[in-house]
Chain A
């Protein structure tokens, strides 16, 4: 069955520290991959997406993600976290852009 796994439910980092959020997928073929961010009580904002091509994808707000086929992973990174980055982060996958399957999310907490 198709699935997306985010192993870390909750991550806490200090402001200015680097960040990596993990995402693994299980699909028959390489899916489209996405990272979304959700602030409390809000909808989802797209950070970045991978369809094909360069495996290192740049997104908004200084985020990037790297697609690794051999590891079925699409981890999200940021070199220096800001307090405003505190939110819930969702990894998602789809065969096309229609039926998204979401991971369970990672809650990021940032300490000053």
Chain B
């Protein structure tokens, strides 16, 4: 089945550091990838939709200069949290759709736990 790999699984860093999270589709091409944020004991909130070769589409209230998204290939999207602060601490999850198949659901990575000290 479709596999999405997310790396790293956990990051602990100092305030002010920029952190990059990778999302890869391992056995399929993903035209579109999605980035979600999940606070403890809460649901997933879509942050942005990442389209290969074009700019990401951000949801309302998500700072595009804070959360930089790059989707340089059909198998890789990256989320960079710039100058991270403690309030950015959260669980970040990516997902991907199988390219060209509008009837396939999203496949999720295992998430990245980001802790900013």
Contacts and interface: CB of A to CB of B under 8 A. Distances in A.
A102 B91 CA distance: 15
Interface string B99-117: 0001111111111010000
B108 to A, nearest CB: 4
Interface string B1-17: 00010100000000000
Nearest to B2: A46
B60 interface: no
Contacts, number: 53
Given A41-B113, A42-B111, A98 B103 contact: no
What is the interface of chain B mostly: helix, strand, loop, or mixed?
Answer: strand
A45 B105 CA distance: 11
A13 B109 CA distance: 29
A100 B104 CA distance: 12
Nearest to B109: A43
Interface of A: 32, 34, 36, 41-46, 49, 51, 90, 96-105
Q: 10 closest pairs, A vs B, by CB?
A: A43-B110, A44-B108, A43-B108, A102-B43, A104-B43, A102-B44, A43-B111, A43-B109, A49-B105, A105-B43
Interface of B: 4, 6, 32, 34, 42-46, 49, 91, 93, 95, 97, 102-111, 113
